[in-house]
């Protein structure tokens, strides 16, 4: 088989070194010096001249050619050469394209095109976003293939392919523990699988969102309901945040536990007040004479609670906050201390080393994505003279956060401080609409004290996510 390559460029050299030995190769270029310095590991014919000339093309073997590849820096020149080739009934025609505005001219001639800018962009995308490995588009740009590594928080983890099938993509293969698996409908996707997906052009974002773990699920990891505690009439002024919260998360219903003596034991008045504050949000109210910590704990355990919601009145007792945090720790359910600082346009996250699906780090990205909020990741180190070796936050944590930001399409900023962690983060909460805190992978006494201090003294609403 005979191929004529026009343009003695690096791309031509790479192509020649890669194609099989069954090809006879001619290279054409105007520049004699470039041809002289053009060397490959193959025997090739070098022709100096203008490839838009039929005579030059015939000298290069036009009459015997099976394919022509044009690599000049001029789309006009490439098109002219390919038109001549078309007239000579050469079927395999391909070219680089230098200006995407000219694509339609090449498509009219049914020419396979390669866009250098697109190839470079795909390569850099892989470098910048390692969770996405994107191959070259094919089928004339109508389809593409991607590879995605399944993370522990992926929505498809643990599901069978038949459960996530779609008309716009096909899972072609899995790489699991260095073994290639050709999947079928009952193949279950596992953490760590490298999944090869062929998809329609334009479906990229949908597929990434489905497989990479960027779909919002909070608070369904914990339960489907928001549980509001009203043990004081003053709580009512911050109750409206619960209506905002449930409408902007995956929670499905609102359950209210209230003392029946909020208004002199007038249950009808309480009901009317709740309806007025919560607008048209449906709720299920439970009334009790007295609400003990044990009552709260039992209520959480007996229902599908995704978040405990406590409206914080001014001057709330530290002991009350501490008791609620203990309940959250026992039940493993997040608690939101509401101070009515919604909507959440900026969310502050006190970074820790826990990246489980239900960690404060992961939930912060979920909520930021759902709320279209900017996320500020905060690290606070002790003064250097007090630090033990390796105490400062490592770059690996930052990289994980950046990867999460990419997969969730969240704007992420970092702020670094030195000093008392509890006091500094509490001061910073005045800059956020929602502050999120959690524990390190091994919860310490210091972690608990920080959580209690921030929850009690914050200038914004605080979401505490237990370990």
pLDDT of residue 393: 45
CATH of the domain at 254: 3.40.50.620
CATH of the domain at 170: 3.30.70.1450
Domain assignment of residue 396, yes or no: yes
Residue 299 and residue 361 share a domain: no
Domain assignment of residue 332, yes or no: yes
CATH of the domain at 81: 3.40.50.720
Domain assignment of residue 251, yes or no: yes
**How many Å apart are CA 440 and CA 444, to the nearest integer?**
8
User: Which of these three, 309, 338, 367, is where a domain ends?
Assistant: 338
pLDDT of residue 214: 57
Residues of the domain holding 63: 2-114
Domain assignment of residue 380, yes or no: yes
Residue 124 and residue 109 share a domain: no
Domain assignment of residue 217, yes or no: no
In angstroms, how far is the first alpha carbon of the chain from the final one? Answer: 65
pLDDT of residue 301: 87
Residue 297 and residue 255 share a domain: yes
Handedness of CA 416, 417, 418, 423 (dihedral sign): negative
Residue 168 and residue 232 share a domain: no
pLDDT of residue 82: 95
**What is the maximal distance between C-alpha atoms in the chain?**
103
User: Which of these three, 212, 239, 265, is where a domain ends?
Assistant: 212
Q: Are 3 and 68 in contact (CB under 8 A)?
A: yes
Residue 374 and residue 352 share a domain: yes
Residue 229 and residue 144 share a domain: no
Domain assignment of residue 220, yes or no: no
Residue 72 and residue 32 share a domain: yes
pLDDT of residue 463: 97
Residue 105 and residue 80 share a domain: yes
Domain assignment of residue 437, yes or no: yes
User: Which of these three, 310, 338, 366, is where a domain ends?
Assistant: 338
How many domains is the chain built from? Answer: 4
Residue 7 and residue 83 share a domain: yes
Domain assignment of residue 133, yes or no: yes
Read off the tokens for 393: 């936050």
Residue 294 and residue 200 share a domain: no
Element (H, E) at 29: strand 24-29
Residue 247 and residue 199 share a domain: no
Residue 61 and residue 138 share a domain: no
Residues of the chain falling short of pLDDT 50: 131-134, 387-394
Contacts of 401 (CB under 8 A, 6+ apart): 351, 361, 377, 412
pLDDT of residue 389: 46
pLDDT of residue 323: 94
**Nearest C-alpha neighbor of 188 from the set 159, 218, 209:** 159
């Amino acid at each position: 088989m005979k191929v004529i390559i026009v343009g003695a460029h690096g791309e031509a050299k790479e192509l020649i070194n890669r194609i099989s030995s069954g090809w006879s190769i001619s290279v054409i270029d105007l520049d004699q010096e470039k041809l002289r310095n053009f060397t490959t590991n193959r025997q090739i014919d070098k022709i100096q001249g203008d490839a838009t000339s039929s005579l030059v093309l015939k000298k290069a073997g036009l009459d015997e050619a099976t394919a022509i590849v044009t690599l000049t820096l001029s789309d006009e020149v490439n098109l002219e050469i390919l038109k001549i080739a078309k007239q000579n009934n050469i079927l395999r025609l391909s070219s680089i394209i230098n200006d995407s505005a000219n694509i339609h001219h090449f498509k009219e001639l049914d020419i396979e095109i390669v866009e250098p800018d697109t190839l470079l962009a795909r390569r850099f995308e892989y470098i910048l976003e390692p969770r996405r490995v994107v191959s070259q588009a094919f089928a004339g740009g109508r389809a593409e293939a991607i590879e995605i590594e399944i993370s522990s928080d992926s929505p498809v983890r643990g599901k069978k392919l038949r459960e996530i099938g779609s008309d716009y993509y096909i899972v072609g293969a899995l790489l699991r523990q260095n073994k290639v698996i050709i999947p079928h409908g009952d193949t279950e996707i596992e953490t760590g699988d490298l999944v090869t997906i062929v998809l329609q052009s334009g479906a990229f974002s949908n597929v990434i969102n489905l497989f990479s773990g960027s779909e919002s699920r909070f608070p369904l990891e914990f339960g489907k309901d928001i549980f509001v505690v009203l043990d004081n009439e003053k709580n009512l002024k911050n109750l409206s945040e619960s209506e905002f919260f449930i409408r902007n998360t995956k929670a499905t219903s609102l359950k209210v536990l209230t003392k029946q003596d909020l208004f002199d034991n007038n249950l009808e008045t309480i009901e009317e007040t709740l309806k007025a504050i919560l607008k048209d949000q449906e709720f299920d109210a439970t009334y009790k004479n007295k609400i003990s910590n044990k009552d709260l704990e039992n209520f959480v355990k007996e229902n599908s609670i995704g978040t405990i919601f406590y409206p914080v009145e001014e001057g709330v007792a530290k002991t009350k906050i501490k008791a609620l945090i203990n309940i959250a720790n026992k039940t493993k359910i997040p608690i939101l201390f509401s101070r009515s600082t919604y909507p959440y346009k900026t969310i502050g996250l006190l970074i820790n080393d826990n990246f489980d699906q239900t960690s404060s780090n992961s939930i912060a990205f979920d909520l930021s994505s759902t709320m279209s909020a900017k996320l500020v990741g905060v690290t606070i180190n002790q003064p250097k003279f007090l630090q033990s070796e390796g105490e400062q936050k490592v770059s690996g944590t930052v990289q994980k956060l950046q990867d999460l930001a990419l997969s969730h399409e969240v704007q992420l900023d970092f702020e670094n401080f030195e000093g008392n962690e509890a006091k500094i983060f509490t001061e910073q909460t005045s800059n956020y609409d929602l502050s999120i805190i959690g524990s390190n992978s091994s919860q310490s006494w210091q972690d608990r004290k920080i959580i209690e201090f921030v929850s009690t003294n914050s200038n914004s609403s605080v979401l505490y996510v237990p370990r």
